[in-house]
Amino acid sequence: MATSYPELNYGNGAKWIKNLTQSRLSNFLGGHFADVNLSSKMFVHRLDGPGVVDLQVWSAPGLTKPLFAEAMRQKFRPAKKEESFGPSCTNHWWKVKMTIPSSWKEYERVQLEFDPGCEAMIFSTDGVPLQGITGGYGGDRRVEHIIPRGAILRGTYEVVIESSCNGMFGVPWNGDTIAPPDMNRYFKLASADLVVPNQEAWRLMWDFSALRELVDSLPGNSALQNKALVTANAIMNAFTTGDDENIKQMRAIAEDVFGKGWEAKGPGIYDEGARKAQVIGISYCHIDTAWLWPYAVTQQKTARSWSTQIDLMGRYPEHRFACSQAQQFKWLEQQYPPLFEKLKHKVASGQFHLIGGAWIENDGNLPSGEALVRQFLYGQRYFQSRFGKRCETAWLPDSFGLTAAYPQLIRDSGMKYFFTQKLSWNNINVFPHTTFNWVGIDGTQVLCHMTPVDTYTAQANVGEVNKAISNHKNLESNDTALLVFGNGDGGGGALPKMLENLRRIRAVTNNHRELPPVSMGSTVEQFFEDIERDSKGGRSLPVWRGELYLEFHRGTYTSHGSIKKGNRKCEILLRDVERVATLATTYQPASSDYVYPKKSIDECWEKVLLNQFHDVLPGSAIGMVYDDAERLYSEVRHDCQKMLDQAFEVLLTTPSTACGDSVLGGRPSGFLALNLTPFSRQEVVEVPLSGDGDLPSFPTVIQRSLDGKRGYALIEYEKDSICNRETSMHDECLPASVESVSSNHFILQTPVIKMTVCEGRITSIYDLVLGLELIEEGQTGGLVIFEDRPNYWDAWDVEIHHLETRTPLAFSSFRVVAQGPLRATIEAHVKYGRSDIKVMISMDGTPATRQYDLRPLIRFDAEVDWHEKHKFLKFELPLSINNTVATYECQFGFVQRPTYKNTTLDAAKFEVCGHKYADFSEFGYGVAILSESKYGFACEGNVLRISLLRAATAPDADQDQGLHEFSWAVMPHAGSFLESDVPRAAYLFNSPLHVRAIPQGVAAVESFVREFPFSLHGARNIFLETVKRGEDDDFESPAAKKTVILRLYEAFGGHGHTELRISRNVHVVAAYTTNLLEDTKAELTLSCDIRGGGASKLDLEFRGFEVKTVKLVLADAEGTLATNSNFDPVPAVIGR
């Protein structure tokens, strides 16, 4: 057989030095050889200056953020390149007029290159946002604006540009991303040029970049990696003149890897090759609603980013963009209506995908259960109202851990899929799953995917596509992964180079097997639906039960204490407002024109939900953000108090004023206290006494403080009672007293509990009934300070090594404030560093709840003037209790966490999140710490701690500096946690009575309702959390149907049966269970005929930690009692 193989060989062969060839690739673009390599061929023409690009500018005053119409009314001045603008966070508006040479008509593309060094947005001259600009030379650079073909043919083009003096990640003063902002930075207009890009050179650059990624990312010595290296090397060797023909030649070489004619197929490239792609690409633009910039800047970031993505959809039909956070949509709707209309069309066409279903991407640990419900309720209702659809996938990629209550809330909000990835940041253990069933505390599951790419801001490169499978932890049960790509945190989204790169990667996988195939054009829901189908409804997937605890950012449970307090107080205020407003509309006299304040309630909730964003509530934002957040909380408190006053005007026969209100004026004749919880309670109420020592007529003051300024009264409430019953000391009371043994030795006690404070520390807590010492022998409790210097993320992290730096604090001075019998109080002081700490330590003569045989709370009310840096203040109790777990409240239930460190999984939970209580119990006895505004806890061995204050310096240099007022309580209890009344006590501790002043001359105050019309009877483990009006009620029409929504949950983790009794004065015509969005699930059977005039009742069954929503439909205005027109209840006398 003839052969061409020669007989003789005098050459030296084709042996190469692979590593040197691979290193050579870095010289083809940029760098030292930029003037002679491909970078020198990227543009054909570049012009600037007057007559080509004419510039005018107007600088908005201060930090104002005028919108387009206002800016256009201002007087602009001439401007030029190289001018500097600032300072930080100011806004500058440009009018840009371009004159395009007629000879440029022949080119494929003409662009405006506008680089202000900061962020900017381009508008049409009639105010339509066209795209965002990201100045500078980072990887997120986007400074080109494509001039429409019609303008090129016409020869002129005009746009308006708003530039904002902040980078994509704010303006950190020293270049470190999380450093506090430099508020005096200026930015230079580096370019305002008319350019003609060499489009084929750009495409060759993308070709070469993809080849280089293959070389750098694939395993060494694979066939595809070597072929990519050979091809890239050949392209470099072929580079000569860099003219059109030469570039065409080099691009042909690249087809050896991508395939012949691949580019002509455009988005059709995804229709070839593998029938099922393993990697599904979805574009996403994570915009932190506030972080290193305030809310106002986010509003601009949203418009910039989304307009850019809409622009890209026109050039890349396969581009699908997923977007969450209803709040950002609402801002866009309010401030950029033309862009919002474009967005609506893209949602309808299926290119712009709604995800998340929540108001914002909130923190996943700190919001209350009801707040998480409202995140979904307000989010889903917004999406439904504006786009005619709801979200199907919950989406929290960046939240710092996720409560185990979430699966139930997600499913009951109309979603069954969930995406996250933050646990990839764990700094101790690697989370073991990628795709799994996440099961919550009640047993509800959602299908969860944590992208194995380990980021929600992927750059769509070969390494990430490969990692999507190589890092996948559940390939045995599912082999697909979501590639969530696009610049984020500060916004931006996908760049053209990302979409170009993905086409090339798919072209490669259509011809080679070493890389998993990637697809574009699918939705997130389609990705999950495929998993659900292939896993037989999730049955072949692994299961993770309980919380998704992030082993990182544990300091966020404590950072910025005032924001945590504002959140908790506003959540509870809104709960109370809704209850009272519901009662007012249910019982209002016919003469009343009161209307349920739905709009005001919604506005308040939206402010609270906004502040729950995952960099605001955790305390990890810059100081400017907290100026905004505190203002919002102040507005909520003001508006809630106004709504409470209005509702009380309906329910009470006489005007009254909230105590502490500046309009109180004069000396009241007495006080009344209203209980808005469904629980019985016995409370010591503190009332101010007049300067002359005279006592108000009500309540009866049993005890005075030693300085004579405060009086103490005892008030009782029966179950479901709103109005107090005045009482005096009786057999159920536990007289409290304080004994001063010496200047630094005090004993607070009741007949059941005695606490000793000696030499500034708690040396004993002794149960007198059981003869049991609760403090470990030889140890003391009290305040402790730790050094707090995390490895990097200052406001976010507290590291395990901080526990090695414990310094106990001992109070140095004491003063007896109240001696009993209702309240015994000592005032304790300690000075540490530059800080002053004052704590009022009290014991009341009343039990924590009305449960039989309960102990009183030991209450600590702190006033701290805090001026430390990198210190961590905590309170701890070393207890003579032994258990392997401690119990912490979470949303609608609790979780238990280890107290030991057998494994690294156990050790990682050295600082954890709790809500209103943390409990450490064994058989027969336990101790809980109750919190009214703190969320950080720990139980290390037998030492139970609550975290009080931190002092980070980045990104807010002044975090937590200044005055703080907060409270906590110690609750000893007989029996284990499940036998205790800790959840109810914590509920009451967080629900202060609404004390109102009775004006002079009023002999009595009567109420139209003495008790809640909705009461629970039966299992003590069922709590009524929420009472509100239905979302779909017509509040303006007196004749419209009224509905009342009740939200209940099981609090102890077991089954329960309860009877919901409805007062005979509230006529219910129908009752339903609903989901959290108030869609009907099933009709409930009322146990009696409401036409018979008796009370109604519903039997309700609960599984452990189940949340149940009940909708009651009241008789309409035609009925006899719906508007209370004939209702004359027995008045509840609450003053005399």
Which residues are part of the catalytic machinery?
Answer: 398
- Alpha carbons within 13 A on the beta-carbon side of 667: 11
AA identity, residue 1013: P
Between strands 925-931 and 917-922, the pairing is antiparallel
String of DSSP letters for 1012-1025 = -SEEEEE-TTEEEE
Alpha carbons 161 and 170: distance in angstroms, whole number:
19
CB of 782 closer than 8 Å to CB of 876: yes
Backbone phi and psi for residue 222, each to the nearest 5 degrees, phi listed first: -80, 160
* Residue 332 DSSP symbol: H
Residues in the chain: 1136
AA identity, residue 489: D
Alpha carbons 26 and 34: distance in angstroms, whole number:
11
SS (H, E, C) 897-963: EECCCCCHHHHCCCCEECCCEEEEEECCEEEEEEECCCCEEEEECCEEEEEEECCCCCCCCCCCCEE
Alpha carbons 901 and 241: distance in angstroms, whole number:
67
- Which distant-in-sequence residues (6+ apart) come within 8 Å of 613 by Cβ? 288, 289, 290, 360, 361, 362, 363
Tokens standing for 471? Answer: 């890092």
CB of 828 closer than 8 Å to CB of 839: yes
Within a 10 A sphere around the Cβ of 896, how many other Cβ atoms? 15
- Which distant-in-sequence residues (6+ apart) come within 8 Å of 1099 by Cβ? 1057, 1058, 1059, 1060, 1085, 1087
Among 616, 618, 645, residue whose Cα is nearest residue 558: 618
Among 423, 364, 426, residue whose Cα is nearest residue 394: 364
Peptide bond into 294 cis (omega under 30): no
Alpha carbons 107 and 102: distance in angstroms, whole number:
11
* Residue 695 DSSP symbol: P
- Which distant-in-sequence residues (6+ apart) come within 8 Å of 985 by Cβ? 848, 849, 854, 857, 917, 928, 930, 971
CB of 682 closer than 8 Å to CB of 618: no
SS (H, E, C) 197-231: ECHHHHHHHHHHHHHHHHHHHCCCCCHHHHHHHHH
Dihedral of the alpha carbons of 886, 366, 958, 840, in degrees to the nearest 10: -50
Dihedral of the alpha carbons of 1089, 1091, 1097, 1101, in degrees to the nearest 10: 50
3-state SS, residue 307: helix
> Measured between alpha carbons, how far is residue 465 from residues 210, 279, 362, 470 in Å?
12, 7, 29, 9
Among 509, 851, 537, 935, residue whose Cα is nearest residue 680: 851
Alpha carbons 832 and 785: distance in angstroms, whole number:
9
> Measured between alpha carbons, how far is residue 906 from residues 911, 940, 1009 in Å?
11, 11, 51
First to last CA, the chain: 122
Residue with tokens 């801002």: 331
CB of 996 closer than 8 Å to CB of 659: yes
AA identity, residue 796: W
